[in-house]
Amino acid sequence: MDGNSIYWHSLTVQEALERLGTDSVAGLDESEVLRRINIYGRNEIKAKVKTPLEMFANQFKSILIIILLIATLISAFLGEFFDALTIAIIVFMMAIFGFVQEYRSEKTIQALKKLAVPRARVIRGGREVEIPSTDLVPGDIVLLREGDRVPADIRLIESNDLEVDESPLTGESTPVEKDANVVLDPSTPVSDRVNMVFMGTYIVRGSAKGVVVATGSSTELGRIAKSVAETKEEKTPLEIELDDFGKKIGLIIIGIAAIVFATSLLEGWANVLESFMIAVALAVAAIPEGLPAIATAVLAIGAHRMAKKNALVRKLAAIEALGSVDVICTDKTGTITKGEMTVKVVRTFNGFCNVEGSGYEPKGRISCSGVNIENLLEMLAAHTFSDVKLVNEKGVWSVKGSPTEGALLVLAYKGLGEEGVGKAVNKLQLVKTYPFDRFRKRKSTVHIFNGKYIVVVSGAPEILVELSNTIQVGDGVKPFDNDSKKKVLGYVEELASQGYRTLGVAFKVVEAFSEEDSVENVERDLTFYAVLGIIDPPREGVAEAVQIAKRAGIKTIIVTGDHKLTAMAIAKMIGLDVDNSIALEGRDLDRMSDDELAKIIDKVTVFARVTPEHKARIVKVLKKKSYRVAMTGDGVNDAPALKEAHIGIAMGIRGTDVAKEAAQLVLLDDNYSTIVEAVKEGRVIYENLKKPINYLLTANMGEVATVFGSQLLLMPPPLEPVHLLWINVVTDALPAAALGLEPPEPGIVERPPRSAKERFVTRRKLVYYIVMGSLLGAATLLIFNMFRETSLQLARTAAFTAIALSEFGRAISSRSENQNFWKLPRNKWLLPALLASMAMQLIAIYTPLNKYFHVVPLDWWIWPAIFIAPATILIVDEVRKVLGIKIS
């Protein structure tokens, strides 16, 4: 039975049981279970998974990979087996790397399965049994208790003080109170279906009995799995750029090869075979086949640096893409905040306290004015200590029990310290507990102290106001008249309007107490003490990170399943301009078309009460408006939007496996501030990817200009095929790799994000490549012509060396597009790379290997003339920078 085709929350318990053909006492018998398993299948999420062979084959669809494969065949045909082997290794390495990344991405659906509970307690044939959760079928009667993860979508039959953490599904940070007896409107959203529990969530408090209404792919979790599977994974900007780059280079190569072949034949400098070999060698040289490997190395090193800063990269190409985003859509719970309730404000009748710190870590100063808070903290410590525990596991603080009571205990630890809390618990020894009840909306504890009894009550402030006839004022009490009650309720409204959950605290001292007393009698005639403002506050450093992002031209939008007022309060706390922007709820989105949303989305800062479908839709609308979108999240509900976004960023600690597998980046510390570091690395890497491209394309264009120019000038070819291949494979590689390791240029974080339309190879840059390549070619031809009359072999050796050294000059100038190299931080890798390349060039000239390169040793007096070429290239480009002529 498809759990999503029937509005189970709008049916009474009896109607649901009748529709499912089951009994709440006896459950299903084994024969009926087997029949239903055959009909509905196992309670597991199924998805089509690509085979490893399919994933590996997909790696060869890139046009650049195809060109490199052709280059491999051509090099082998020319007898350059070493060159062919090098290119083949590069291609295979890229394919393996891409396969590994895609294989990990396809594990998203497998991660969803892990959220299912391994075992479930059910009633079958009138007996309570424990079974694998995969054996559940619609109609099974399931028993739930505190700590259980819900194994299927379930319509509640009975509930006892049931609270459920639905943050993995809805993003709601506060546990949701459930009530089996409620019957809801069919249009009620998932986050408000209080008579149901859903697969993947877990029980925080209480117990329940329910009937399974949907299993496997029919659950709400299953719908998300389907959405993840159907969402086409977005190509990163780098992948798009390299594909586009490969197509352009491919067309240029074909044209160059054809022209060189034709002109060589027409001018009669070579026969058909020789002309073909020269044209093909030049075409192979024109392909910067080392660039993909260099790009991979640059990204891998960037990923290593980011890992040290707690940002784990799942897909290397995503690193540079992060540097281009101009909108971050961030979930609130677990991303901006820790997902941990914290008392931030204590308000008494004649004073207040501000509490520092966030989450469950018991650190933070309490600053008070007009109030002595020690007595309150002692009562809260004794009130909560027996029902909630504060634990520290591997440096991570958490609470076992109610998050709200955990917040009260943490407050007590902040003010009293561990020793003070222990003394308070011993001082106010617990006698009786009246647990929190959704109908009473409060919890009470009775303690004995100095022969008297102290009753401590926490709960809804408006209820405690009505139950109180006195109020604490300083160290004494006074009658709680109507004016005083209005004042206190005003505090409650003020805190609520700021996004806080409010909790009241009251007490009374009595001479005698009997456990036979009714709870109503115990909880009357109270003394109202304080109103507590509780919120899941921003992490430390988030506000600063948001401001840095703002200065970098990046807009932050909160997209959460939490309440609007709470989300707006958090937005204001981290410095977002809430007053001059728009906050929308999910129901607002439901009334809007995509076009209507697109008209106002630029002004939106907060999206609240949203569903998983809303999140993905928001990302799509932003993308249609040409924004580069990053989506952060931690829950199951975030997975589709993480895949839809240009960059998906998951939380490593709190994040579900689903979110981690769907994302390209995982924040190991769950710290929003880490995103700023990732943005910086992304921008540095993008700049460092441009530098080898600028270097290689100019150098390759110089090789083309040298050969093609000689033909136009009716000169013999100055370079042979072996020279072109040697320069391309050996002398280009190390300097290009070193350029990819440049330290950050000054002010890189403060720059605005690059335009979505910006490309690695633009028309302006193409002109630049042609001009600089032509200059390089002219300098090489000049050297060639200087020694041509002496010896053709000597002239070719000089030209071969001159073009190699010219590319070294280009490497120095390529360290920055617009800043002179002497103003940049030192690149410790470049000089060794140039020296190593120079050494290889000298080996080719001055060792017996020179006969394979068809060159001769050069006398010392030839070298000054050769150095004219690299000096000219370097000086011209540095003068351009001084004049402020930009190439992009």
Catalytic residues: 331
Between CA 736 and CA 632 the distance in angstroms is: 34
* Angle, vertex CA 408, rays to CA 403 and CA 410, nearest 5: 90
Environment class of 767 (CB within 10 Å of its CB; exposed 0-12, middle 13-18, buried 19+) = exposed
| Residue found under tokens 């109103």 | 531
Rounded to whole angstroms, the Cα distance separating 328 from 111 reads 25
Give the Å distances, CA to CA, from 535 to 191, 355, 734. Answer: 19, 11, 55
The overall longest dimension of the chain from CA atoms, in Å, is 120
| CB within 8 Å of 667: residues ≥ 6 apart | 310, 311, 312, 632, 649, 650, 651, 652, 674, 675
How far is it, in rounded angstroms, from Cα 382 to Cα 387?
A: 10
Q: Please enumerate in sequence order all residues whose Cβ is within 8 A of that of 746, keeping only pairs 6 or more positions apart, or say none.
A: 819
Residues contacting residue 568 through CB under 8 Å, at least 6 positions apart: 499, 578, 583, 606, 608
Helix and strand element counts for the chain (H, E) = 33, 27
H or E element at residue 502: strand 501-510
Residue 744 in contact with residue 301, Cβ under 8 Å? no
Helices 237-267 + 672-712 axis angle, to 10: 10
Helix (H) or strand (E) holding 456: strand 452-459
Give the DSSP H or E segment for 15.
Answer: helix 13-20
DSSP 314-334: SSTHHHHHHTT--EEEE-III
Q: For residue 519, give both structure tokens.
A: 């709870």
Q: What is the dihedral of CA 811, 813, 817, 818, to 10 degrees?
A: 160
Residue corresponding to tokens 């992304």: 682
What tokens does 280 get? 């093909």
CA-to-CA distance for 856 and 621, rounded, in angstroms?
A: 64
Angle at 595 between CA 590 and CA 597, to 5 degrees: 50
| Sign for the pseudo-dihedral over CA of 320, 323, 326, 328 | positive
- Which residues make beta-bridge pairs with 369? 352
The secondary structure of 370-427 as a DSSP string is: S---HHHHHHHHHHHTTT-EEEEETTEEEEES-HHHHHHHHHHHHHHHHHHHHHHHHH
Q: What CA–CA distance (Å, rounded) separates 333 from 166?
A: 12
